[in-house]
């Protein structure tokens, strides 16, 4: 079997364009992957086009070789061991599609190729928000009543426009954030796992100040309190607070995660499968985290292909934590032939070959986005 073509499709979802990668073969099999990098989607598609110039004619079963060929060996598409989210997202789309093909050839779901099922469904968390504590509490309670037992909200802002993401001025408005999360905790009770996302916005000092206002609420995770530019900032915060720290979707390689773990910077590792190069690299990140007794929670604001790729990996490893799952996109399942199934806060992992789904091209065309269309 040989690769005959690689192409991309962008889907016009809220806030981002889901970037689907298709790897075509001379046997007629088509593997699906996802390469979504929010607001940078056309650039990622261009990277895929660049990579494919030397992948045409290659054997799609050589997944590890192809990954390393692109990452460190090639003089055409390779970047000599340099990694960034655009390039790694493009690699991820191709990599996931190759795993999908391998599963189709074997007649097995991807999780079976990764070591077999540790579980048949994976815990997920979804989101709450609102302009007031009451609105946030109401939305969180609604999600709990829908069956979700893990929920995430964000740190607040004093004046988002004025701060303009200024790390040195932004402190997450501790009083407002505390009021929001107290209202949510009162509404959903003590058993619901609550995450707070800081989006890498704060200094070490402001991260600690904010966390101290929230420690009494028994939060499950304090996500990305600082930017990962300086990994030594994470352990400085971790030593001072009792809330487990989770990070970071902004890292791109197993080596970066290994360093953060060696620094004792996190309690939960949170790779983004797209930004970290796909299943091949993410499985290694999970294994490294396991040696530090640290679970994995995938950052996952993706379409159904990216969601399922992460679910297959979480289904096969011993150290998962609830992974992200965006709700409220009612038409999401229209682009695939089998709907995503969430029962009591857990995503059921498909048992069909590969990822377990195909594209529904009628749905794809109904929601497709092309360069030049309004964003």
Number of Cβ within a 10 Å radius of residue 151 = 24
Q: Which residues are catalytic?
A: 199, 299
Distance in Å from the first CA to the final CA of the chain: 38
């Amino acid at each position: 079997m040989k690769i005959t073509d690689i192409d991309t499709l962008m889907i016009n979802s809220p806030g981002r364009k889901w970037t689907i990668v298709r790897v075509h073969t001379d046997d007629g099999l088509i593997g699906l992957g996802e390469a979504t990098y929010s607001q940078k989607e056309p650039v990622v598609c261009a990277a895929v086009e660049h990579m494919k110039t030397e992948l045409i004619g290659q054997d799609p079963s050589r997944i590890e070789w192809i990954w390393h060929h692109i990452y460190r060996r090639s003089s055409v598409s390779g970047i000599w061991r340099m990694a960034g989210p655009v390039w790694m997202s493009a690699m991820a789309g191709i990599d996931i599609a190759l795993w999908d093909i391998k599963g189709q050839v074997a007649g097995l779901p991807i999780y079976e190729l990764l070591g077999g099922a540790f579980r048949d469904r994976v815990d997920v968390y979804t989101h709450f928000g609102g302009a007031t504590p009451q609105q946030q509490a109401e939305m969180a309670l609604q999600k709990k009543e829908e069956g979700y037992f893990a929920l995430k909200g964000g740190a607040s802002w004093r004046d988002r426009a004025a701060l303009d993401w200024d790390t040195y001025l932004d402190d997450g408005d501790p009083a407002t954030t505390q009021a929001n999360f107290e209202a949510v905790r009162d509404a959903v009770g003590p058993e619901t796992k609550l995450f707070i996302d800081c989006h890498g916005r704060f200094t070490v000092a402001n991260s600690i100040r904010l966390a101290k206002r929230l420690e009494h609420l028994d939060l499950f995770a304090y996500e990305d309190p600082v930017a990962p530019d300086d990994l030594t900032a994470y352990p400085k915060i971790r030593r001072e607070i009792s809330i487990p720290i989770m990070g970071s979707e902004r890292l791109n390689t197993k080596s970066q995660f290994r360093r953060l773990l060696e620094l004792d910077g996190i309690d939960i590792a949170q790779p983004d499968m797209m930004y970290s190069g796909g299943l091949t690299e993410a499985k290694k990140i999970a294994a490294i985290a396991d040696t530090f007794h640290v679970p994995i929670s995938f950052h996952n604001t993706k379409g159904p292909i990216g969601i399922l790729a992460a679910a297959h990996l979480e289904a096969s490893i011993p150290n998962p934590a609830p992974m992200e799952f965006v709700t409220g996109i009612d038409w999401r399942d229209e682009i695939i032939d089998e709907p995503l199934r969430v029962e009591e806060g857990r995503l059921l992992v498909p048992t069909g070959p590969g990822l377990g789904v195909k594209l529904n091209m009628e749905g794809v065309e109904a929601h497709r986005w092309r360069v030049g269309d309004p964003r």
